[in-house]
């Protein structure tokens, strides 16, 4: 009997915690540390530099975070099933370049069509990952490391030295990431809607909740009659769709898209999810947490610049944050496991 493709570390003893009933309470707990950290960071930075929370400052902050937020949400879906997708940076790059190509070669193409095409391309690339992982029973880490290379290679040979610039795209498309509604950038609102939909799906829909079961214990999920392969495939596909969406938004937000767009993004995305309380060993965490994690990481970058702290510290701080998140997660799961054991004992 095969367990579903797994993130490597042997953490079999760790999967006892998060199961159905107390999930809601547990989730709130998981998002708490990252939210507190974010609030503290914003408050401290604003005291040091009041311009940080000016309307322009807010807008910049949200704009910077939006794309990583979407990617982190997709990544959370995959990580919850005890998998990981390292190819998101390459998927984003391919879709962003595809978006540039579409606008440059099909004059007058409706923006909606571009979004749909981008997300379909993302879905396709994500599905390849999903199929390889579920059908071939190879760990996601290896598969997506492979497709990270392959997708990037395709992007390089497709793009060559070509880059598409903001000038090649219609103004309405670029203004998506400029215009604001009540001070919120349009693309951030898109991201928020997406996050809300995914969050509802994960918590309210049977198929979504299955993902937690799969991540907690793939064998048990299989015995329980959950179509593990199909669900995992779906998680990868959906992650691809979100990476595709992020790719289109990237093209709207940034000046140039080319062969190297999105390189190295995968680690910040995984880091955002982990900082946001998504356990790398699967089965726990939430997409809202992942999104807040992404917001926190981008805010640190901006905050350091705003308070003129030596920017060299930034990456070290990110590293420490990840480690603290992992430790907090550990403490939380130990505590929950103990609590569960006590309450179960009482029930008996």
Partner 1 sequence: MSNHTKQSPAPAGPDRITALDTRLISTDKTLASVPKGRTGAARVLLGRDAIMIYALIVFVLYASIAIPRFATPVTVGFLLLDVIPVLLIAMPMTLVIITGEIDLSVASIAGLTSALMGVLWAAGLPIEVVLVVCVVAGVAAGAFNGFLIAVVGLPSLAVTIGTLALYRGLALVVIGDNAIANFPPELTAFFTSKLGGTGIPTMMIPVAVVALFFGVLLHLTPFGRGLYALGFSTEAATFVGIRVARAKFWLYVGTGTVSALAGIFWTLRYSSARSDNATGLELTVIAAVLLGGVSIFGGKGSIPGVIAGVLLIGTINFSLRLERISDVVLIIVTGTLLIASVVTPNVYAAIKAWRQSRRLHNTLPQVPASGATNATASGVPERK
Partner 2 sequence: MEFIRNHGRKGIAARRLVSVAAVAATVALLATGCASGSSSTSTGTDGAAAGDLSITFIPKQLNNPYTDVVLGGGKKGATEAGFGATQVVGPLEASASSQVSFINAETQAGTKVIVIAANDPDAVGPALTEARAGGAKIVAFDSDTNPKYRDVFISQVVAKDVALIQTKLISDQIGGSGEIAILSATANATNQNGWIKFMEEELASNPAYKDIKLVAKVYGDDDDTKSFQEAQGLLQAHPNLKGIISPTTVGIAATARYLSTSEYKGKVALTGLGLPNEMRPFVKDGTVTAFALWDPAQLGYVAAFAGKALVDGTITGKEGDKFTAGALGEKTVGADGLVVVGPPTTFTKDNIDEYDF
Q: Residue 269 Cβ, how far from partner 1 at the closest point, in Å?
A: 11
Q: Is 162 in the site for partner 1 (CB under 8 A)?
A: no
DSSP 185: E
Q: Does 229 bind partner 1 (CB under 8 A)?
A: yes
The SS3 assignment for 48 reads helix
Judged by DSSP in three states, 93 sits in: helix
Element at 165 (helix H, strand E): strand 164-165
**What is the Cα–Cα distance from 221 to 203, expressed in whole angstroms?**
17
Under rule CB under 8 A, residue 157 binds partner 1: yes
Identify the CA nearest to 333 among candidates 6, 16, 8, 7: 16
Task: Spell out, one character per residue from 69 to 108, where the chain touches partner 2: x when CB under 8 A holds, - when not.
Answer: ----------------------------------------
| Options 270, 294, 296, 300; binder of partner 1; rule CB under 8 A | 270
Q: CB under 8 Å to 330, separation ≥6 — which residues?
A: none
**Contact map string, positions 306 to 325, toward partner 2, x by CB under 8 A:** xxx--x--------------
Smallest distance, Å, CB 347 to partner 2? Answer: 41
259 binds partner 2 per the rule CB under 8 A: yes
Q: Which of 263, 324, 326, 339 is the binder for partner 2 (CB under 8 A)?
A: 263
Tell me how many degrees the CA angle 293-300-259 measures, rounded to the nearest 5.
80
Report yes or no: 99 and 248 within 8 Å, Cβ to Cβ. Answer: yes
Q: Does 139 bind partner 1 (CB under 8 A)?
A: yes
Distances (CA, A) of 236 to 83, 84, 341: 9, 9, 33
Q: Which two tokens stand for residue 58?
A: 């807010």
Query: 103 with 114: CB under 8 angstroms?
Result: yes
Q: Which stretch binds partner 2 (CB under 8 A): 27-35, 69-77, 83-91, 252-260?
A: 252-260
> Does 1 participate in binding partner 1 (rule CB under 8 A)?
yes
Residue 224 interacting entry, from partner 1, partner 2, none, C-beta within 5 to 8 Å by type? none
**224 binding partner 1? (CB under 8 A):** no
Chosen from partner 1, partner 2, none, partner binding at 327 (C-beta under 5 to 8 Å by type): partner 1
Residue 56 C-beta: closest distance to partner 1, Å: 28
Token output for 22: 């107390």
């Amino acid at each position: 009997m095969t367990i579903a493709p797994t993130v490597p570390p042997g953490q079999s003893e760790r999967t006892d915690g998060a199961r159905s009933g107390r999930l809601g309470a547990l989730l709130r707990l998981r998002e708490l540390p990252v939210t507190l950290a974010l609030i503290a960071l914003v408050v401290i930075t604003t005291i040091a530099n009041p311009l940080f929370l000016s309307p322009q400052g807010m807008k910049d902050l949200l704009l910077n975070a939006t794309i990583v937020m979407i990617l982190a949400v997709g990544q959370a879906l995959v990580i919850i099933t005890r998998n990981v997708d390292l190819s998101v940076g390459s998927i984003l790059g391919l879709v962003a370049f595809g978006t540039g190509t579409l606008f440059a070669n099909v004059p007058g193409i409706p923006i909606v069509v571009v979004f749909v095409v981008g997300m379909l391309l993302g879905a396709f690339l994500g599905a390849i990952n999903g199929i390889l992982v579920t059908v071939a029973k190879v760990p996601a880490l290896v598969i997506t490391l492979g497709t990270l290379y392959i997708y990037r290679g395709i992007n390089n040979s497709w793009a060559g030295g070509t880059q598409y610039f903001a000038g090649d795209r219609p103004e309405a498309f670029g203004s998506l990431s400029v215009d604001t509604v009540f001070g919120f950038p349009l693309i951030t609102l898109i991201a928020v809607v997406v996050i809300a939909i995914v969050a509802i799906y994960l918590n309210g829909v049977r198929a979504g909740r299955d993902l937690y079961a799969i991540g907690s214990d793939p064998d048990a999920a299989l015995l329980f009659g959950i179509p593990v392969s199909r669900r995992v495939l779906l998680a990868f596909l959906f992650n691809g769709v979100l990476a595709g969406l992020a790719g289109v938004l990237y093209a709207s937000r940034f000046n140039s898209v080319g062969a190297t767009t999105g390189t190295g993004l995968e680690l910040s995305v995984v880091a955002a999810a982990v900082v946001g309380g998504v356990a790398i060993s699967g089965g726990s965490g939430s997409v809202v947490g992942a999104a807040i994690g992404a917001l926190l990481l981008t805010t640190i970058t901006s905050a350091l610049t705003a308070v003129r702290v030596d920017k060299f510290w930034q990456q070290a701080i990110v590293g420490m944050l990840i480690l603290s998140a992992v430790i907090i997660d550990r403490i939380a799961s130990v505590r929950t496991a103990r609590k569960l054991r006590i309450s179960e004992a009482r029930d008996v």
